[in-house]
Structures are given as C-alpha cells and as structure tokens.
Amino acid sequence: MAKSLKDQNNWRLWLIVVANAIFFYVVQQANEMRFDGLPALFKQIPNLLPIGLAGVVATVLNTLPTAELKATIVYWRWNDALPGHRAFSKYVNSDSRIDQERLLKAYKGTFPVAATDQNAAWYKLYKVVRNDVTVLDSNRVFLLLRDYASLSLLFISIFGISAFLLIESRVVAAQYLGVLILQYLIVRIAAANAGVRLVTNVLALKTATGR
C-alpha cells in the first residue's frame, strides 16, 4: 500500500526533532561537558533521554494544530491563509508558464474573486492533476516545510523556555533563543514559497495539458 505524503515526511520530521533536541542538549552542556575519551561519551547518553522526551512531546503537539492554523503560522494571515485563496488574484500573474487566456476560457472569461471561491476553484484543478509527479513533489515539500515551521514555533516555546531554566548563562540562553527564532523565520519563508509553487504548478499544468 502506497504511503501518504505525510507518512513519507514522518522520518524527515523525526530527524528535525532529534537534531533540535541534540542541539539543545549540546548548548546546555557546553560549559559543563568535558569528554575524556569514548567511555565518558557513553556516560552522557542517559542525559539525552529527557531531551528525547521533549522531542516526542513536540512531535505530538505538532499533530494538534489544524491545517488552517499551520497555514496561519506560515503565511501570517488569520483568515484565508492558504495561497489557494489568492490563486487567481495574485499568483496566476506570477508564473510565465501559466497561459492566462486558456485558463480564462475555462472560467468563461472571469476568474473567481472571493478568496474562498478562488481556493475552491483551485482545489478542483488540484484534484485533477494531484497525481502528476511535479504536483506530488511540490505538495510533499510544502507539507514537510509547513510542519517544520509549526515544529519550529514549538521549539521556541519548549526548548527556548527550557534554555532560560537550565542554562546558567543568560547570554548563551538568549543567543540560543535567537537561533531558534531564526530557524522558524527561515523555514516559514521556505514553506510559504513552497506553497505558492504548489499553486502555480497546478495552474501551469492545467493550462499545459488542458485536463
């Protein structure tokens, strides 16, 4: 049985959680750890368990936000956050691959105007071409980065607050928090661009194939 796109992304999200958990541990122990050969390294492994538990909690919490809330986290819009809500008013003009005249004929000369109508119209197109390799790949990337952005925001809350409780140096804790915020901002931008790319790929494929 073929795995869903979300299932395909699970191991990547786990790596992201583990990497952030280990990074937090390293920062926390930076001024205390004095490895003296491999045996000393193994002695530190039990100390990673609470951090791994925090990573599991972050992963579980990532399943709680709705798709709409995750879209808000990525696009910083409370209403009509998904790029499909602006598919015909904005993004149809942003990609030279899209034959607007041909697309207009499919809508009898007038594109949908209301945000909800635009998203509904775009979704109908997506349902037709969703199994195309280009669409599948762009959708997988968008879902991965969207969830990564959501996790990054959770890392700020979970690991960022923990840093000020567990790291003696307030300067180091503040710098670590800054890194977490930077991670979220970078991933948010990447996720937003990936979502727009998914929208334009569907529109371009529709005009190219006529499906």
Q: Domain residues of the chain, as ranges? A: 5-209
Sign of CA dihedral 45, 47, 51, 56: positive
pLDDT, one tens digit per residue, over 83-119 is: 999 999 999 988 888 888 888 888 878 889 999 999 9
Per-residue pLDDT at 75 exceeds 70: yes
Asked if 75 and 142 touch (Cβ cutoff 8 Å), the reply is no
Task: Give the tokens for residue 48.
Answer: 């990673």
Instruction: Determine the average pLDDT of the residues in 168-185.
Output: 92
What is the phi-psi region of residue 168: left when phi exceeds 0, alpha when psi lies from -120 to 50, beta otherwise? alpha
Per-residue pLDDT at 41 exceeds 80: no
Give the pLDDT confidence score for residue 3 in this predicted structure: 61
* C-beta atoms surrounding 105 within 10 Å: 11
Give the pLDDT confidence score for residue 158 in this predicted structure: 86
Give the pLDDT confidence score for residue 34 in this predicted structure: 40
Give the pLDDT confidence score for residue 194 in this predicted structure: 97
Asked if 146 and 54 touch (Cβ cutoff 8 Å), the reply is no
Closest CA to 124 of 107, 144, 99: 107
Per-residue pLDDT at 40 exceeds 50: no
Q: What angle is formed at CA 90 by the lines to CA 84 and CA 92, rounded to 5 degrees?
A: 80
| CA pair distance 125, 98, nearest whole angstrom | 13
**3-class secondary structure, 3:** coil
Task: Give the tokens for residue 88.
Answer: 């015909």
User: Which phi and psi (to 5°) does residue 43 adopt?
Assistant: -65, -25
Name the strand (E) or helix (H) holding 182: helix 170-209
Burial of 25: CB neighbours in 10 Å, binned 0-12, 13-18, 19+: buried
Q: What separation, in Å, do the N-terminal and C-terminal C-alpha atoms of the chain show?
A: 27
Closest CA to 4 of 140, 130, 127, 128: 140
Q: What percentage of the chain has pLDDT greater than the value 70?
A: 82
| CA pair distance 138, 125, nearest whole angstrom | 15
Mean pLDDT taken over the chain: 83
* C-beta atoms surrounding 210 within 10 Å: 9
Whole-prediction pTM? 0.83
